[in-house]
Amino acid sequence: MIYTEKQLLEELRKCRLADLSDGMDALGLVNKGSMSTSMRPIRPGISFAGYAWTIKLVPSEETFTPCETVEEYMEQNSKFCGQIYSFMGVMRNEDLTDHVLVIDMGGYPGGILGSENMMKYHLWGMVGAVVDGGCRDSFECNLENVNVFSTKRTYHHVSGRMKLDGVKVPVNCAGVTVEPGDIVCADDDGVLVIPRDKAEEVLTFARAILEADQEVRSEHYKALGYEPDETLNRLGK
């Protein structure tokens, strides 16, 4: 079957990462695209699939100097943030619908993501974010139901710690090379990156694997007296 870009994502979202990973195995892509198990959701129940929109940050040579006034701090912070978040100027001019923000920070425990900017990215159409680094404002982020996976929990900012080094470039995120446009899938089990040119093949295997699983588990549900739930009809048949 030939899918549109949107249809492909819709079908991939019906599958569990377990099914998609098995589909990768079927193509000989064993452990390919599998981010480190340190990449975790900020709360249970987050799942998404979208096309990668990539950013790379590296350590900054400059940091804060002692401030005597709030105004001095605000000025320094504004300078650092102006450089780091300049990628947002690029984002504003693009259609970000069904995209995932993928950020390579080399695992640094700094909060490039937080409760304010994640809502902004959501308003711009992004389905989630994956960062090899930190997200802060965790409590607020969870109240807002924004979708973030990170390798670090932190209260640190990236200001005065990191600097922007690339936008829409290949990045290494939690052990996986991610190309712009790759498909990033996430659920409670972790994050999997599927090369765009392999996605339809992976989906063919994943759907068959999921169908077989649902059939067997449906029989187990009957034998155990369980009420059927949505996991038995993920494919909507």
| In the chain, where the domains are located | 1-32+195-237, 36-193
pTM: 0.94
User: Smallest Cα–Cα separation from 112: which of 90, 133, 82?
Assistant: 133
d(CA 108, CA 228): 43
Average pLDDT taken over every residue of the chain: 97
Higher-scoring residue by pLDDT: 1, 134: 134
Q: What sign has the CA pseudo-torsion 123, 147, 34, 15?
A: negative
Give the pLDDT confidence score for residue 2 in this predicted structure.
Answer: 82
d(CA 108, CA 105): 6
Give the pLDDT confidence score for residue 210 in this predicted structure.
Answer: 97
Distance of CA 197 to CAs 51, 125, 126, 200, Å?
12, 23, 21, 8
- Average pLDDT estimate for 159-166: 98
Give the pLDDT confidence score for residue 236 in this predicted structure.
Answer: 85
Q: How many CB atoms lie within 10 A of CB 159?
A: 23
At the topology level, CATH places domain 36-193 in Glucose Oxidase; domain 1 (3.50.30)
Would you say residue 219 has pLDDT above 90? yes
d(CA 49, CA 233): 19
pLDDT cut 90: percent of the chain above it: 98
- Average pLDDT estimate for 202-230: 96
Q: If residue 129 lies in a helix (H) or strand (E), which one and from where to where?
A: strand 128-135
Would you say residue 1 has pLDDT above 90? no
Return the half-sphere exposure (C-beta side, CA atoms, 13 A cut-off) of residue 98. Answer: 13
The DSSP secondary-structure symbol of 197 reads G
CB 136 within 8 A of CB 154: yes
- Average pLDDT estimate for 129-138: 97
d(CA 132, CA 57): 10
Q: What phi and psi values does residue 210 have, to the nearest 5 degrees?
A: -65, -40
Tens digits of per-residue pLDDT, 45-101?
A: 999 999 999 999 999 999 999 999 999 999 999 999 999 999 999 999 999 999 999
- Average pLDDT estimate for 180-195: 98
Q: Which residues pair with 164 in a beta bridge?
A: 57
Residue spans of alpha helices (H) in the chain: 5-14, 17-26, 70-84, 87-91, 115-123, 138-143, 199-224
Structure tokens at 226: 């369980």
Would you say residue 3 has pLDDT above 90? no
Distance of CA 157 to CAs 147, 153, 231, 234, Å?
19, 11, 39, 39
